[in-house]
Amino acid sequence: MNRLNKLFQDKNKALLSIYFTAGYPNLDSTLDIAEAIEKAGADFMEIGFPYSDPLADGPVIQHSSHEALQNGMNLKVLFQQLKDLRKRVSIPVLLMGYVNPVLQYGVANFCNSCAEVGVDGVIVPDLPMYEYENLYKDNFIQNNLSNIFLVTPQTSDERIRKIDELSNGFIYLLSSSSTTGKNLTVSNEADAYFARIRDMQLKNPTMIGFGISDVKSFNKAAEYTRGAIVGSAFVKFLDTENAMERIPEFIRSIRP
C-alpha cells in the first residue's frame, strides 16, 4: 500500500489535492512549494512536469509550462530535485504530464526514478489505456505506483468499468471536456454526470478536477466524490505578490 492508497483508506471525504508545475515560477522552487502545500493542509499534491505542447491545458498552465521549460526544467532535473522530497514532504505526491517526455526518458526508467524519490502515483492523460495495460503496467506495479486514468462526461460506462479494473489509486473525473482553467459548471447536466459515476459504485475512489477554484466548486465536487483537485487557480496564485507566504490563505479559500 503506497501513501495514496493509505490516504484514501484513512480519510473518507473532502480531500484536497493541489497541482503545480515543476520549475515555475523559478527552477528551484519545486520543493519549497511542495513543503508549503503540505504545511498549509492539503491532503496530497500533483507536480506537473512541463511539455512544449500541453494541448489539454488552458492558458494559465500553458504559460507555467512554457516558463518552466525556459527556466531549464525537464524530467532529469526534476528527479534530481526530488531526491530530497521525502526529507521535507510526507503526504502523497503524484507526477502529472504528457506521455512524450516519459517515452523520451524511458517508461521503465521513469517508473524506477519515481520509486527512488518517493513518488506515489502518475497521471499521464494521453497514455493510451491499451498501451498501459499491455506494455507498461508491470513497470508501474513493480514500483508501487498508482496510474491515474481520466474520465470525461462523454466516457462510456464500459470504458469506465475497464478503467476501474485497471486502477489502483483513484479515478480522476474531469468536470467537463474543456481545457484546464474553466470554472466548474454547477448545472443539472454536471449533477447528472457526477451522479452517474457515483451510482456506478466503482471500487476505486473518485476525485474531480478542472475548474475547482473556490469553496463553492470544491463543495460541489465533494458532494459526489472524495474531494477535488485544484490546478489552474493555484498556478495563477503563484504569480501574485508574496505567494509563498500566503499559500495557507489560498488553501483556506478553497477548504476553510
Catalytic residues: 46, 57
Crossing angle of helices 247-254 and 215-224, in 10° steps, is: 50
**In 10 A of CB 153, how many CB atoms?**
16
3-state SS class at 93: strand
Q: How far apart are CA 33 and CA 41, in angstroms?
A: 13
Choose among 254, 253, 249: nearest CA to 39. Answer: 249
Neighbours of 253 (CB within 10 A): 16
- What does each C-alpha distance from 241 to 215, 221, 253 come to in angstroms? 22, 29, 17
What SS3 class is residue 209?
strand
Distances (CA, A) of 7 to 77, 91, 113, 214: 28, 8, 22, 23
Whether a cis peptide bond, with omega within 30° of 0, leads into 128 is no
